[in-house]
Structures are given as C-alpha cells and as structure tokens.
C-alpha cells in the first residue's frame, strides 16, 4: 500500500469515536479507547483504527511502520480560542500584577490590549509571520494541530487585514492548521475614545466587507465587556458579520456579568467564550440556543484570579463544553493545552476524560469541523499525537511538562522530540 503509515504498539488509542455531534452530559466521559491499539493512515487520511492484530494484518511491504513503544495516541488538540499574531510581549505587566495592579487598572492607564496594538501596528506583515512561526512551533510541540486564530491587535482596516493575512500565511507555511476569526472589536482604539459609534461603523461598513470579500475569516468575534463594547455595539457588529456569512463567537462575561452570554444566545452564535461571571440564566440561555461554551482557565490563572467558570453546572445543564488556551500576550501567555486540562481538573473539577473531549471533538464541532478533525476515525484527517505516557489521565496529572513524542498533521510528521 503506497504512501501509508501504520502506528502500532500503542498502549491506548484514544479515538473519541462516537456520535457525529458535540458531546454533552455523560458522553463527555466516553473516549472510546482501544487498549493495545493501532492505526493505519493512507496519505492524509485515517484508513483504519483497531486492535493491534487487526491493523497488522493490513500492513504490506510498502507501508511505513511507526512503533509507538507502548505510548498513548490521541487526536491532535484543537485550540478553539487563541490570539496568536501580535508583536512584543507584556512581561512588564505580569510583573506589575505581582505588585497588586489589576488587568483593568493596567488597561485604564494605556497598557493592556492597547500596548500590544501599538507594537503590532509598528510591525510589518513579514515581522508578524516570523514571530507567528515561533508560536506555531510552540503549539505543535504542545500537541496542538489546529488553532482558531483571532485578529484584534490592529484596530485599523489595514492593520487588521495585515494580521489576517499573516494568519493565512502561517496556515500555508507551517504544519499547524489555522481557522481565522476577525476580532476588529477587541478594544476601542484610543483615537476613537470619544467617538465610539464611529469605530463601530468603521468595523461594520469598512472592515467587515473587506474581510468577507477577501475571505480572510471564517468567524467574527467581539469583546463584549464593561468599558469595552456594550451588548448593543456587539449586536450591531455581530449581526452585520452574520449577513456577510461569518460564524459568530463572543468574548462574554469575562470580567463582569455584562450580558455577553445572553447576547450570544440571542444571535445563535457558535460559541460564547470565557463565561467566568455567567449566571444560571445565562447558562440556560446558552442551552436553549445550542451555543457551545469555550472555557479559558489559563486566563483566570495568569491574571491571578480564582473565579473560574462554572464548568460542572454547564455540563449538568447539557452544554457541549470546550476548553482552549486563549493564548495571548496579556491574559493567557500559554500555548499548552495540557496545562489547561490540568487547571480544568483541579480548579473546575472536570474529569480527565471530560477535558480530553472538550479539547478535541467538542472543539472541532465548535469550529464547524467536526466531520474532518477531533477524533481518530476512518476518513478523518490524520492529525494525531503519540504522547510519552501510557494512560491519557497522565496528561493533566503530570503538569508543567509537555508530553508529545511525535506529532503528525495530515499524516506527516510535524514535530519529533527525539
């Protein structure tokens, strides 16, 4: 069989095979594990997954054989909320927070998102692709094979287009897969401080049409928050985005109960993200509208807060929970999905199995790609990771260390630890 690859001698193949939909309730714990399993890949697709003996019977002389050495094999992580294109970093603000300053205080004095906007406006497309490649490597090393990638550090037409073009180039030039999201309403730029509606009009009338025309984004997002964009402003932007054919995601109820979750429900958004302050009414609204919550415990941790989103209540309410890093230079400077799984277990009391589902198949469905990625099943793209552990529960258990041994994207080796 030409151009084929067999992965054998796996302690576990964690397939996530199951119903063709995002998983809720008890299904979040069903990982469909094959002990002593193996997998056959042809070209960029999964051809078969099964017991070692079944797969070995399909191997012929032309097939490359990869011995996993009794390690666990999982689908590549899908990180459904990241901000991976920006210049500089904000280690200075991290230090200020250790001295007691809050994220909002730092933003109010011109730091925060606006500091990264200044640096990113000064960077060229080439500069952004160069630093973006460094972060792409980080994601792959952490076992992530697809990221949702937001713009939002430009806040002018040209600078937002520059970031989205950088995302497109990163998708083409690295092994990591990117799903682009336009976040022109990430913050009100300082030059529009006293002209809020003019900025909203700029996003609606100039940025969105160009982004749609050049097919630079699959989704549109808005940071809906006190002192950022109101629910009314977010509504104007998101409903215009929908008319352009974009899917919707919302930064909702992160720092206060600002109504973002309810808005996401009203607009039938794909996701409502953050939700640290969402109450029972908001959870019920998300359920009624079938919106997926994307929980980002890395930002709670890195901001030194202890107000984590109510994951258990959301799971009990029947929501198809997703976990993501929120990788960005301000509130969550980590590309590590296993760090997020660990936080979800210890701080939000999700089980290890639930966290794996939330970071793979549920994340895939939240990006409209559940039929392509997120599980190890015949016909899906061969995005998988051999982790240097024998049991999937070790992934969130050993923390502060990355486990990927070999990472494959579309059947090709994308990262090799040894």
174 binds, among Fe ion, ligand NIG, none (CB under 5 to 8 A by kind): none
Question: How far apart are CB 86 and ligand NIG at their closest, in Å?
Answer: 7
The residues in 184-223 that bind ligand NIG, with binding defined as CB under 6 A, are 223
Interface with ligand NIG includes 120 (CB under 6 A)?
Answer: no
- The pair of structure tokens assigned to 36 is 């002593």
Rounded Cα distance between 169 and 151, Å, is 14
| The binder of ligand NIG chosen from 84, 111, 297, 329 (CB under 6 A) | 329
Rounded Cα distance between 223 and 84, Å, is 16
Closest CA to 351 of 122, 29, 14: 29
Question: How far apart are CB 354 and ligand NIG at their closest, in Å?
Answer: 22
| Cβ proximity to Fe ion, 223 vs 392, nearer residue | 223
Question: How far apart are CB 112 and ligand NIG at their closest, in Å?
Answer: 6
Interface with ligand NIG includes 111 (CB under 6 A)?
Answer: no
Residues 6+ apart with CB under 8 A from 292: 22, 270, 271, 272, 319, 320, 321, 322, 362, 365, 366
| Cβ proximity to ligand NIG, 68 vs 250, nearer residue | 250
- The pair of structure tokens assigned to 111 is 């730091």
Tokens 């200075």 belong to which residue? 92
Interface with ligand NIG includes 326 (CB under 6 A)?
Answer: yes
Which residues are registered as beta bridge partners of 272? 250, 293
| The binder of ligand NIG chosen from 145, 146, 292, 328 (CB under 6 A) | 328
| Cβ proximity to ligand NIG, 108 vs 413, nearer residue | 108
Question: How far apart are CB 6 and ligand NIG at their closest, in Å?
Answer: 41
Indicate the burial class of 23 (C-beta count within 10 angstroms; 0-12, 13-18, 19 or more): buried
| The binder of ligand NIG chosen from 11, 12, 116, 230 (CB under 6 A) | 116
Neighbours of 89 (CB within 10 A): 16
Give the torsion through C-alpha atoms of 161, 167, 173, 175, to 10 deg: -170
Rounded Cα distance between 306 and 319, Å, is 22
| The binder of Fe ion chosen from 253, 326, 354, 388 (CB under 5 A) | 326
* Nearest residue relative to ligand NIG (C-beta): 330
| Cβ proximity to Fe ion, 81 vs 262, nearer residue | 81
| The binder of ligand NIG chosen from 162, 251, 277, 380 (CB under 6 A) | 251
Rounded Cα distance between 251 and 187, Å, is 11
254 binds, among ligand NIG, Fe ion, none (CB under 5 to 8 A by kind): ligand NIG
């Amino acid at each position: 069989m030409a151009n084929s690859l067999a992965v054998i001698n796996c302690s576990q193949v964690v397939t996530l095979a199951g119903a063709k939909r995002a998983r809720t309730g008890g299904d979040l714990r069903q990982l469909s594990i094959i002990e002593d399993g193996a997998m056959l890949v042809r070209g960029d697709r999964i051809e078969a997954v099964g017991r070692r003996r079944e797969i070995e019977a399909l191997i012929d002389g032309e097939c490359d054989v990869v011995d996993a050495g009794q390690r666990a094999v999982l689908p590549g992580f899908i990180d459904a909320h990241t901000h991976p294109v920006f210049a500089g970093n904000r280690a200075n603000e991290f230090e200020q927070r250790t001295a007691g300053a809050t994220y909002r205080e730092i933003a109010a004095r011109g730091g925060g998102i606006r500091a990264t906007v200044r640096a990113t406006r000064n960077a060229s497309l080439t500069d952004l692709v160069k630093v973006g490649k460094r972060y792409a490597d980080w994601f792959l090393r952490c076992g992530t094979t697809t990221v949702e990638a937001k713009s939002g550090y430009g806040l002018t037409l040209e600078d937002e287009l520059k970031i989205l073009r950088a995302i497109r180039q990163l998708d083409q030039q690295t092994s990591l897969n990117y799903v682009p999201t336009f976040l022109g309403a990430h913050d009100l730029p300082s030059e529009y401080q006293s002209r809020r509606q003019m900025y909203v009009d700029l996003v609606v009338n100039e940025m969105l049409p160009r982004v749609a025309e050049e097919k630079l984004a699959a989704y549109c997002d808005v940071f809906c928050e006190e002192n950022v964009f109101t629910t009314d402003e977010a509504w104007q932007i998101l409903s215009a985005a929908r008319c352009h054919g974009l899917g919707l995601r919302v930064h909702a109820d992160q720092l206060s109960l600002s109504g973002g979750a309810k808005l996401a429900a009203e607009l039938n958004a794909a996701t409502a993200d953050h939700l640290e302050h969402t109450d029972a009414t908001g959870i019920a609204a998300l359920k009624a509208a079938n919106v997926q919550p994307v929980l980002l415990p890395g930002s709670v941790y890195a901001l030194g807060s202890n107000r984590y989103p109510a994951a258990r209540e959301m799971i009990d309410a029947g929501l198809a929970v997703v976990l993501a890093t929120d990788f960005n230079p301000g509130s969550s400077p980590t590309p590590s999905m296993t760090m997020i799984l660990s936080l979800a277990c210890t701080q939000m009391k999700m089980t290890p199995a639930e966290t794996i589902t939330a970071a793979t198949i549920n994340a895939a469905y939240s990006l409209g790609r559940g039929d392509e990625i997120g599980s190890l099943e015949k016909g899906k793209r061969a995005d998988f990771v051999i982790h240097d552990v024998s049991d999937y529960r070790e992934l969130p258990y050993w923390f502060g260390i990355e486990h990927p041994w070999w990472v494959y994207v579309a059947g090709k080796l994308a990262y090799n630890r040894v």
